Every structure is written in structure tokens, then in C-alpha cells.
Structure 1
Amino acid sequence: MATATAAPMRRDRKQAPPRRRASPYPLWFHMPAGVFFLVLFIVPTAASFYFSLTRWTLFDVEFIGLDNFVQFFREPALVQGFTNTFIYAFITSATKVVLGLLLAILLTSQIIARGFLRSVVFFPVLVSTIGVGVTFTVLLDPFDGMVNQLLALVGIEGPGWLTDPNLALLSVAFVDVWKGVGLATLIYIAGIVAIPQEYFEAAEVDGASSWHKFRSIILPLARPATVTVVILSLIGGLRSFDLIWAMTGGGPGFTSDVIASVIYKQYQAGFFGLSTAGNVVLFLVVAAIMVPLSYWLNRKGSES
């Protein structure tokens, strides 16, 4: 009996098709992206970490260890720069999330010229950041700017938007929101349009109000869009430089300086190793904030 049973098992074993080796062919399509990532990110990042430990010029490199980092953290404007960076990032990202969601709800509803209004909202994203900064610097001029002239027509004395230490950073943040809210709106529009219409139809049958549809359908199901907007806005806010430099140059005084502008001022002064160390610190700060935040937001989304 044992022999009779073993024979069919051997026959079945022989008939089993051999396993095919996985072909490396699909991996070839990743090679161009991998090369670009290596050349444009990995190599410059590694070089930055190395040069942050040196005193360097175009013609000379001297290894000095952690002296650049010690000197960087002694910068008198650094504390102000860190504070302004976090304030700026929080204000701009929170405002873009709220305004982007409200505009997306409006632009996905049945309104006249919906396509045109979407183009108008998104248009500032396409404009050069430096061009936007120069334009708003002229518009917000405390004496000849159009904004204060319009306020004067209704009897309001306009403040020094970019010259008042208490308003300079907030004024630049407002311009940043104006320029970047179009991208947040576009992401939210994509998220809302992807929600199945059956949910809204069922809510209408149940007699749900617009507020209940927003709270129970749009907010939870548009969460992936919210996570994307929060991450992109926070990264942009923490790395902000070009708009602030174009509008205030970090002034008046150091009141609108951010980490990136402090780094650039060191570079202007010829302290290349010191500015490279500042860039490494900025990279580590952004990574230390965004990696756990991204993990937490995505984990909360998967749990819900």
C-alpha cells in the first residue's frame, strides 16, 4: 500500500510546472528616476554634510569638524529666525488648508463660470515668486502703494505693511497664502471629486443639511487631500526664503528673518562653510518635524 501511494505522489511532483525566475526587466524602468534621485538629491546632500564640516572656498577646503555648527548656533538672529520660521509655517499652512477646502467646496458646486473661476484661483501658482514679491512690495508701499491709497479713500490710514516690525512677517505670509492657495484648492478639488456621489445622494434622501454633508462626508473622505496639503504647505513654510527676501530682506531689522534668510546672509558675507552647516541644520529640522508628522497623519488615516 505504501508503494502504491508513493507512486502517484511522485507522478504529481513531476507534473508540477517549474517556477519561473522573476525577470529584472520591470526594474529597468526605475533606473532613470533612480539616477536623477542619486545625482540631484543623494550626492548634493552627502556633499553638504561633508562641506558643513569644513572651511571652504572655490579653491581651498580645510576640515574643521563641528566648529561651523557651534558658530551657527551662536548667531544672534538665529532664535528670532527659528521663531519666525515656525510662526510663518503655521500661519501659511493652516490658512491654506482652511481656504483651500472652502474654495474647493465652492468650485465643485453648481455655480456659474466654475471652470473660469478655477483657472483664476490657480493662476497665482504659475507666477514667479520673485515677481509676486516685487509686485506686492510696490502695492504695499506705505506712502505710494495702491493698498494704502484705497484705504485712504474710505478714511483709513494704512499701516506700514512691510516696514512695521509687527506686520512685516504677517504681510509676507498673506502674500504667500494668496500665491499658494490655488495648489491647495486644486488638491482638494481632486479629493472631493473622487468621493462617490452615492454618499451625497443617500444623505439627501435622509434629509441631511449642507453642514452635515460637509462634516460627515467631505471632511473624512477628503482626508488624504488634507494630509497632502498639510505636508506640502508645512515643508514650503519651513523652507521659505525667496518671497521673504524679495519683499523684506529679513527686515526691518531681523523681525522677518527666517532660518533660510539667516543662512543666506552668512553666504553673502563669504562664510560658505557656516552657511552650509546652516543648510544641514535646516534639513534636519524639516526632516525631524515632517517625518513623524507624515507618519502620524497617514497612520491616523489608515486607522479611520
Structure 2
Amino acid sequence: MAFYFALTRWTLFDSEFVGLQNFRDFFAEQNLRIGFTNTLIYAVVTSGLKVVLGLLLGVLLTSRLRLRGFLRSVVFFPVLVSTVAVGFTFTALLRPDTGLVNRALALVGVDGPDWLGDATTALLSVAIVDVWKGVGIATVIYIAGILSIPQEYYQAVAVDGGGAWHRFRHVTMPLSWPATYSVIILSFIGGLRSFDLIWTMTRGGPGFTSDTIASIIYKQYQAGFFGLSTAGNVILFVVVTAIVVPLNWFLGRRQATP
């Protein structure tokens, strides 16, 4: 139905067929290039950090730590919190004058920026918050992947005189590739579709500097251009598919060998 209504100018009560006009208008959107660029940057940064931090936390939380169970709960806790609540909380924490982050930096003599009000830091700040909230899922996937590795491989490295780095480099990293594959795909899709955290924290601002495709679509919907926003959703679907399907094929070709 979305594909059909993308070809119409519709309201809740009627619709008028306009063909590809909605798509032409969407591609003529002034901020579309910024939105596409920000969407790709956001997806790459968030998925990359989730892979790196998820792997490191997965290794740490499968080691012989006394507080291992407690730390696993702490890492996973942000996943359970509402995204909107996280957005509002970090918006308060990142305020330039009264925010806890800049107050903490001031104690060590650092003058913190306006994290969400500066065009150079707004998108990255939201991305870091996204990583904090979502890295728990990546960590759980890595924990499952690491625990499924047969212990014989680690014993073989120990027999050869290898240390912790050798175990990580030659056993954990290659044999946890299925977990890495899953985290990359899931995180990248989530990054390309991200909306709620960006809208809660910056609403695409300052100006249009942190707009993504999803926030542009929502602004069109707010303005009453329902057919135009539906066309935007169809385009977003096509973009995500065009990126993720080849990425899935490329990553799936890799073979993990110890």
C-alpha cells in the first residue's frame, strides 16, 4: 500500500493519483544531500563503534571476572530504557551551561562545547549516545559467539606458548566472525533507519546539519505532505536494501579459519 500511496497526493479521506511527482519533489528537497550524507556517516560511526566495543566487552565479560554477571547486567541495561527517555536525559546532560558533562570537564580545566547546538558536534554526539544505548545488544551477541568457540583452540595456543593477545588475535577474532557479521548488519540497518534519538535530541538541528533521511521524511509528514513523505519512505526502503543486500553478500563470503 505504501508503494501505491507514494504515487498519490493523499489525505485521511481521499487521494489523487500524481504518478512520480512525489519522487521528483522528494529528490528536489533542498536538504536531501545533507540528509543522505548524515545518514551514511551516522550508520558507519554507530555500527563501527558497536562492533569494536561489543567485541572488547564480549571478551572482557567472558573472562574470569568476579563481577562478571553484574557487569553484564550493567552493559545491557541501556537497551531496556526507552529511546525517548534516553534522548531527553542526554539532552539535559549535554547542555552547554548546566549539563553534567560540561561541568565535569570544567573541573579538569576543559571548556566543553555546545554538544547539540554546534553543527560540528551535534550528529556525532547523538551517535555516541546511540552507541551507549545499543552496545549491549552487540555485547550479548559477541558473548554468545565467544562462548560457542571450542576450548580446544585456546588450549592449542597455550601449548604453543601463546599469550592473551595470541588467543584473541588467532582464535577469538576469526572464530567470532558470525557474531561480527550479525552485529554489522543489524547495526548498519538500524543506523540507516535511525530517527527517534536524533529527533528527540536535535530535531535535525542546528539548522539542518544533523538531519537524516528519516527526519526529513518526518518533517514532510508534519507539514501535511503525506504523499511526499510516503515516497520518501519508499526511497529509504530502496536505499537500505541497495546497501544492505550487497553488504550482506560480501560479508557472507568470508570464511572464519582459526
CA RMSD in angstroms comes to 1.1
> Quick one: distance in 2 between partners of 1:218 and 1:227?
14
Larger Rg: 1
Match of 2:182? Answer: 228
> Quick one: distance in 2 between partners of 1:151 and 1:55?
51
Give the paired residue count.
Answer: 258
The runs of 4+ residues in structure 1 deviating greater than 4 Å are none
After the TM superposition, which of the residue ranges 152-161 and 51-60 deviates more from structure 2?
A: 152-161
Match of 2:160? Answer: 206
Question: Is structure 2 residue 43 aligned with structure 1 residue 82?
Answer: no
What TM-score, normalized by structure 2, do the two folds share? 0.98
Match of 2:96? Answer: 142
Match of 1:249? Answer: 203
Match of 2:56? Answer: 102
Cα deviation, residue 153, structure 1? 1.6
Cα deviation, residue 302, structure 1? 7.7
After the TM superposition, which of the residue ranges 212-221 and 180-189 deviates more from structure 2?
A: 212-221
> Quick one: distance in 2 between partners of 1:255 and 1:301?
40
> Quick one: distance in 1 between partners of 2:190 and 2:91?
21
What TM-score, normalized by structure 1, do the two folds share? 0.83
**Partner of 1:55: helix, strand, or coil?**
strand
After the TM superposition, which of the residue ranges 147-156 and 99-108 deviates more from structure 2?
A: 147-156
Match of 1:27? Answer: none
Q: Which runs of no fewer than 5 residues in structure 1 stay unpaired?
A: 1-46
For residues 110-138 of structure 1, the C-alpha deviation after alignment (integer angstroms, 9 at most, x for no partner) is 11210000000000001000000000000
**Partner of 2:117: helix, strand, or coil?**
coil
Question: Is structure 2 residue 91 aligned with structure 1 residue 155?
Answer: no
Asked if 2 retains the 8 angstrom alpha-carbon contact of 1:224 and 1:301, the reply is: no
Match of 1:119? Answer: 73
Percent of aligned positions that are identical: 69
> Quick one: distance in 2 between partners of 1:301 and 1:282?
31
| Counterpart code for 2:119 | P
For residues 51-104 of structure 1, the C-alpha deviation after alignment (integer angstroms, 9 at most, x for no partner) is 000000001111110000000000001000000000000000000000000010
Cα deviation, residue 301, structure 1? 3.1
> Quick one: distance in 2 between partners of 1:197 and 1:302?
16
Q: Which runs of no fewer than 5 residues in structure 2 stay unpaired?
A: none
> Quick one: distance in 2 between partners of 1:301 and 1:123?
33
> Quick one: distance in 1 between partners of 2:161 and 2:130?
40
Q: Out of 220, 223, 236, which is 1:269 matched to? A: 223
**Partner of 1:301: helix, strand, or coil?**
coil
Asked if 1 retains the 8 angstrom alpha-carbon contact of 2:174 and 2:257, the reply is: no
Match of 1:43? Answer: none
Match of 1:215? Answer: 169
Cα deviation, residue 300, structure 1? 1.9
For residues 152-173 of structure 1, the C-alpha deviation after alignment (integer angstroms, 9 at most, x for no partner) is 1222111000000000000000
